[in-house]
Amino acid sequence: MKLVDRFLLAILALIAIIASGFMISLASGLISHERVTEFLTFNANSVSFITTSIIISIVIILISLRLLLMKKRGSLDKSTLLKNSELGMINVSLNTINSLTQKSVKTHQGVKDAKSLIISDEDGVRISLKLLVMPDVIIPELTEDIQRNVKEYVEKYSGIFVKEVRIFIDNIFSIGKSRVE
């Protein structure tokens, strides 16, 4: 929810609280019916009162409609990415992007283990990888190859643009050798 929408929601909530407080006061007798009737009768022919009432009502209706439409628009899960085609809209989950990323990384023999994090942006994704690599691999060549392959693979099979692939080499896998003394 955008900051403007939160502000509008706060205004609408404040108006609802004030209106509810007025209705409770009227129903419980804190405000007499005669005083309300007298106020409305006195101001019924006032052009400024009528104009102000109409403007406030229109603003409340517009705020309500905006918030209702915003809720309808934002009803999709945030863990999905949207792609429009000429046939319609396609939703691709971040889990799908993660699975494609893992499958692409596992094709590299120099990687023992990989953990991935997919970050959704407005026009694509950013992929972060944390790798445990095998000993005796040339890390710069391996990482460049992984970055290129992951980007191409995910874009080809999901249709979602990959902005960047970040790689963090966490460690080098070492086989524990038992020593006999």
CATH of the domain at 133: 3.30.70.1350
Q: How far is it between the farthest Cα atoms of the chain?
A: 106
Question: According to the model, what pLDDT value does residue 75 have?
Answer: 43
Is 177 inside any structural domain? Answer: no
Mean pLDDT (the chain, rounded): 86
Residue 17 belongs to what H/E stretch? helix 3-28
- What one-character-per-residue DSSP string does 54-87 give? HHHHHHHHHHHHHHHHHHHHTTS-TTEEEEEETT
Confidence of residue 126 (pLDDT cuts 50, 70, 90): very high
Per-residue pLDDT averaged across 148-167, rounded? 94
Provide the domain limits for residue 69: 3-73
Instruction: Examine the domain organization and report whether 59 and 105 are in the same domain.
Output: no
Q: Are 45 and 53 in contact (CB under 8 A)?
A: no
Q: State which of 73, 102, 129 marks the end of a domain.
A: 73
pLDDT tens across 12-22, in order?
889 989 989 99
Are 69 and 84 found together in one domain? no
- pLDDT band for 179, please (50, 70, 90 cuts): low
Tokens of 107: 């094709």
What local confidence, expressed as pLDDT, does residue 2 receive? 72
Does residue 28 fall inside a structural domain?
A: yes
Which whole number is the average pLDDT over 27-51?
Answer: 88
Task: Label residue 169 exposed, middle or buried (CB < 10 Å: 0-12, 13-18, 19+).
Answer: middle
State which of 73, 99, 126 marks the end of a domain.
73
- Give the pLDDT of residue 55: 93
Count CB neighbours of 143 within 10 A: 22
pTM equals 0.54
Number of compact structural domains in the chain: 2
Same domain, 131 and 58: no
The CA distance from 117 to 127, in Å, is 6
Answer whether residue 179 is part of any domain.
no
Q: Which helix (H) or strand (E) holds 53?
A: helix 47-73
Residue 178: inside a domain, yes or no?
no
- Whose CA is closest to 4, among 76, 69, 66, 72? 66
